[in-house]
Chains A and B, each alone.
Chain A
């Protein structure tokens, strides 16, 4: 069960890792995210750990909720916000199911406690590691120096503290953590289930677009603001050069407007491309040689991962302005057997009028 083991051996290596990532980021030279507004403010400390829920929450009983209370109290004592507190609960769920384990596992026989901290000097004495409040305090002190954590996925924040094998291990524990923290708070918090692997955790549940009887949806709101074709590049990268505008630009509802998968498929790209200013790209392979791509999201606006199956009309992103862009919009491409194809006539053949303000033919 326990997989993460923070480490101090780690500190030196961690610095190297940070430096490597910094170098990679510089190569990308684009904004990693614009996440400032999509998470609860860091100083929002409202959860009262003394208000222990009277009954169990989900499958978690009073002993486990008592441990959660200690974690929340430790985060509060350090002045951390509710997102950080919830990351603490998520991490403990992923390490120990909120139990102060007096044993480790195969990879870390010296791991102990709620956070399965190792006996390497980074996490205090055995008594500290076994004590929920003390171990959580040490966890949060390490979390508090994770650079730019508001712009990182909860599972990635946890991984940078724990340095376990799998960076994505904790994401599946996020929803339980949110339920537990909300039970303490006695109210809904600006924390969204399903976002343990996403940068933005506070923007609510993703929306769903209208899907026509042929199984297609529009990628985003209109109107069309620029068409497909060769043109003098109006962008900020290589301006004026004769280039292919390989898609249709949609207003998309402006910054953070929803972007939808136009048909069922599997995600084959969900990243920032280095070649032109770190442009965000989501590409979906729909089969039969048809691929669609959406551009200009920030990292925080990429809501899917490579290999993920998506369905028509599922929200996969949020409109941004990364890369060769001078303002928030959705650039939508259709590729047929790898060849850029004008999206407007292509989508018309499946009953979707790009940029239309009305519902397309149902």
Chain B
């Protein structure tokens, strides 16, 4: 699946370049063509999910720089993430940093939270902001982080050993330019 992402990522660059060239010089409101010519090729079943051939062109070129009215995102502004050695290394670093900040039961809450909060997603911050650092059962990271291969270049699952067992840190990034942020600091699975 990773390989597929990388390969079709290249195809996407070609498509994006085509879209750029197509819209250069056209300032008027490009009325989107509603009709399209979807590929008639049978969907492939690779990876268990059939996806349309990546050669299927978009129905209408979306102008680069167009703003998504619902999310505020700018089309083409950020790179599509790729799962490569650099991504793994940055995920391992982010996971270790977050665990190091999390495992400081001796700290007062304000100091602990000020260091941890910037490393978390908003959703994670809402949850972990109510944790009392004195109740965290581990006190230090005891070894290097191990990055597991997963199903998406947007996600990383990283095992971080501590003096109270191995945590599994789930990280997510919004795009290829965005930092890894922590979604979950999953403790060792309780026995019994």
Contact = CB atoms under 8 A, between A and B. Distances in A.
A156 interface: yes
B132 A349 contact: no
B179 interface: no
A235 B135 contact: no
A16 B109 contact: yes
Nearest to B78: A338
A263 to B, nearest CB: 5
B172 A306 contact: yes
Contacts of A243: 66-69
Interface stretch (A45-53, A69-77, A275-283): A275-283
B111 to A, nearest CB: 11
A324 to B, nearest CB: 5
B19 A24 contact: no
Contact of B170 (A28, A230, A306): A306
Contact of A264 (B48, B105, B110, B132): B48
A228 to B, nearest CB: 7
B154 A285 contact: yes
Contacts of A169: 187
A167 interface: yes
Contacts of B46: 288
A289 B7 CA distance: 9
A9 B134 contact: yes
Contact of A337 (B11, B72, B151, B157): B11
B142 interface: no
A79 interface: no
Interface in A164-184: 164-169
A290 interface: yes
A20 interface: yes
Contacts of A305: 183-184
A339 B16 contact: yes
Contacts of A4: 135
Nearest to A10: B132
B59 interface: yes
A214 interface: yes
Size class of the contact patch on chain A: 35 or more
B62 A235 contact: no
Most buried by A among B16, B47, B136, B192: B47
B94 to A, nearest CB: 14
Size class of the contact patch on chain B: 35 or more
Contacts of B175: 338
Interface in A325-350: 325, 331, 336-342, 344-346, 348-350
B143 interface: no
B69 A159 contact: no
Nearest to B14: A337
B151 to A, nearest CB: 4
Interface in B82-126: 105, 108-110, 113, 117, 121-123, 125-126
Contacts of B29: 230, 242
B15 A163 contact: no
Interface stretch (A35-43, A199-207, A250-258, A265-273): A265-273
A272 B121 CA distance: 11
B139 to A, nearest CB: 10
A163 B54 contact: no
B24 interface: no
A245 interface: yes
A62 interface: no
A276 B71 contact: yes
Contacts of A208: none
A307 interface: yes
Nearest to A152: B126
Interface of B: 1, 4-5, 8-9, 11-13, 15-16, 19, 29-32, 34, 36-39, 43, 45-54, 56, 58-60, 62-63, 66-73, 75-76, 78-80, 105, 108-110, 113, 117, 121-123, 125-132, 134-137, 150-155, 157, 164, 170, 172, 174-175, 183-187, 190, 192
Given A17-B130, A229-B34, A337-B54, 10 more contacts: A167-B128, A265-B151, A266-B150, A275-B72, A276-B71, A286-B51, A287-B49, A336-B54, A344-B36, A349-B53
The 4 closest A-B pairs by CB, nearest first: A337-B12, A229-B32, A243-B69, A13-B109
